[in-house]
């Protein structure tokens, strides 16, 4: 039987977050082999990780990876921002983002064991969130941006642009990160969303006592405000509110964009 020291047990406890007796048993069952003991605990401890899956995990971090004309955003959720800024958490997040770029959207599934291991080690409900991957068309410009106000990514953006340059793509990324549009154009808004907003504005206008004949015009004006808030092409450019994003584009075309922000 291998000689299991208190130092070995403590090291395994620190690495996996398990109790002293579980750590000692894992080492004993695996002849003192640390790596095998970690695997054994993961297999035995997945039920503990599963128990955490019911706990809210609205915190986390986002990462962007890029290789040539392919880019990806991956979100990894946690319960606290303390865990979200930890080195192990962000190392796995970067690994996942690079895997999605190299292998496609489904690549995260191949790393589920590592996510489960991190759940046990950090003792939180950690799960992969949103995953977005762009492969730019030939001749298109691709750009990305990650906002890191406290050292880890909380707001990631990707854009694909036709007929523009890298500088314009970067300006669009920065604008989107700040303005957080929901739609690229008015055509993307579901009809029921527009109808509901119109009904709300009609009710507000009537409650204000506006003349019945003036209500349609007032409502349409207020709908324009709704579009300016939620539609990227209608938004005022953050660096010059006299110019809309649509006007900023000129002859260029914004093919698509994606934004993944923690808590949104």
Domains of the chain: 6-54 (1.10.8.10), 59-185+235-261 (3.30.479.20), 190-230 (1.10.286.20)
The conformation of residue 74, written as its DSSP 8-state character, comes to: E
Residue 224 β-bridge partners: none
- As a whole number of Å, the CA-based R_g of the chain is 25
Average pLDDT of the segment spanning 230-247? 97
Q: How many CB atoms lie within 10 A of CB 182?
A: 12
Q: Residue 47 — pLDDT band, cuts 50, 70, 90?
A: very low
pLDDT of residue 19: 65
> Of residues 37 and 152, which shows the higher confidence score?
152
Percentage of the chain exceeding pLDDT 90: 68
| Dist CA 83 CA 17 (whole Å) | 14
Q: How far is CA 208 from CA 167, 214, 219, in A?
A: 46, 12, 12
Provide the edge-to-edge strand list for the sheet that holds 155-162: 141-147, 155-162, 253-261
Q: Is the model's pLDDT at 95 over the cut of 90?
A: yes
pLDDT of residue 264: 84
| Dist CA 211 CA 246 (whole Å) | 34
Average pLDDT, the chain: 90
Q: How many CB atoms lie within 10 A of CB 58?
A: 11
pLDDT of residue 117: 85
Q: What is the pLDDT of residues 116-168, one digit of tens each?
A: 888 888 888 888 999 999 999 999 999 999 999 988 999 999 999 999 999 99
């Amino acid at each position: 039987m291998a000689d299991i020291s208190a130092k070995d047990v403590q090291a395994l406890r620190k690495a996996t977050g398990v109790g002293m007796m579980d750590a000692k048993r894992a080492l004993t069952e695996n002849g003192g082999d640390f790596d095998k003991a970690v695997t054994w605990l993961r297999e035995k401890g997945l039920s503990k990780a599963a128990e955490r899956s019911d706990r809210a995990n609205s915190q986390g971090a986002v990462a962007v990876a890029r290789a040539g004309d392919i880019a990806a955003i991956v979100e990894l959720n946690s319960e606290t921002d303390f865990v979200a800024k930890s080195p192990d958490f962000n190392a796995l997040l970067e690994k996942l983002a690079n895997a999605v770029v190299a292998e496609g959207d489904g690549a995260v599934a191949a790393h589920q064991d590592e996510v489960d291991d991190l759940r046990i080690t950090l003792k939180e409900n950690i799960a992969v969130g949103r995953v977005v991957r762009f492969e730019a068309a030939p001749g298109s410009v691709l750009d990305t941006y990650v906002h890191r106000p406290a050292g880890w990514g909380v707001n990631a953006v990707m854009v694909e642009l036709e007929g523009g340059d890298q500088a314009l793509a970067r300006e669009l990324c920065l604008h989107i990160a700040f303005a957080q549009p929901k739609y690229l154009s008015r055509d993307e808004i579901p009809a029921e969303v527009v109808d509901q907003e119109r009904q709300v504005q009609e009710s507000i206008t009537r409650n204000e006592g506006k003349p019945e004949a003036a209500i349609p015009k007032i409502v349409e004006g207020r709908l324009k405000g709704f579009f300016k808030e939620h539609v990227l092409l209608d938004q005022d450019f953050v660096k010059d509110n006299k110019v809309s994003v649509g006007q900023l584009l000129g002859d260029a075309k914004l093919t698509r964009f994606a934004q993944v922000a923690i808590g949104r």
